[in-house]
């Protein structure tokens, strides 16, 4: 193959857009929100409860302005590495606030196949709520099928419809 043909083929391939690394995103959040070692402990001990679902109001996802690359001092570098290790989630790259850092792990465990466009545009609390409500409805349907009664989940179904509408609005 000639060198000129090789260059033409290489340029003709579709290119993926540049993505900021997980480290860069987390380091921006550490600096912007002044996160400290206590946040790592909070992240490690974070449990997801359903009590907030009944009064759920979907938050807006604020845009995150991050540099292309992040240079941090050694103390901050260790903290960022600890947060990335404690969260254990590829969704960290899409986090825009400390709450989303906390929810990235549970969200990934609930649904590891979310589209990047949804992750970038919808707050993780909304996505976690959608997954939990969907599971709640499934459990109620199983319970109702076993007892031959109607499903007492009108509230949950209406909440799931709201959450799906918010999520699908971002897909467009």
pLDDT at residue 172, as a whole number: 43
**Residue 94 or 136, more confident:** 94
Tell me: pLDDT of 101 over 80: yes
pLDDT at residue 139, as a whole number: 73
Give the CA count within 13 Å in the CB-facing half-sphere of 86: 20
Most confident of 8-12, 18-22, 140-144: 18-22
Please report, for the chain, the start and end positions of each structural domain, with discontinuous segments joined by +.
Answer: 19-171
For the stretch 38-74, pLDDT in tens is 999 999 998 877 776 666 677 888 888 888 888 999 9
Q: Which residues contact 104 (CB under 8 A, 6 or more apart)?
A: 87, 89, 91, 92, 94, 95, 124
Tell me: pLDDT of 126 over 70: yes
């Amino acid at each position: 193959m000639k060198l000129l043909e090789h260059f033409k083929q290489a340029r003709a391939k579709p290119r993926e857009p540049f993505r900021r690394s997980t480290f860069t995103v987390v380091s921006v959040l550490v600096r912007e929100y002044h996160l400290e070692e206590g946040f790592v402990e909070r992240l490690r001990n974070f449990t997801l409860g359903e009590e907030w679902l009944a009064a759920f109001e979907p938050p807006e996802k604020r845009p995150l302005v991050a540099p292309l690359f992040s240079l941090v001092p050694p103390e901050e570098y260790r903290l960022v590495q600890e947060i990335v290790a404690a969260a254990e989630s590829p969704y960290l790259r899409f986090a825009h606030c400390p709450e989303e850092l906390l929810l990235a792990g549970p969200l990934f465990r609930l649904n590891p196949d979310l589209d990047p466009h949804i992750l970038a545009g919808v707050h993780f609390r909304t996505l976690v709520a959608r997954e939990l409500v969907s599971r709640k409805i499934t459990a109620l349907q199983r319970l109702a099928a076993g007892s031959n009664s109607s499903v007492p989940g009108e509230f949950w179904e209406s909440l799931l419809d709201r959450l799906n509408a918010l999520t699908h609005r971002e897909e467009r």
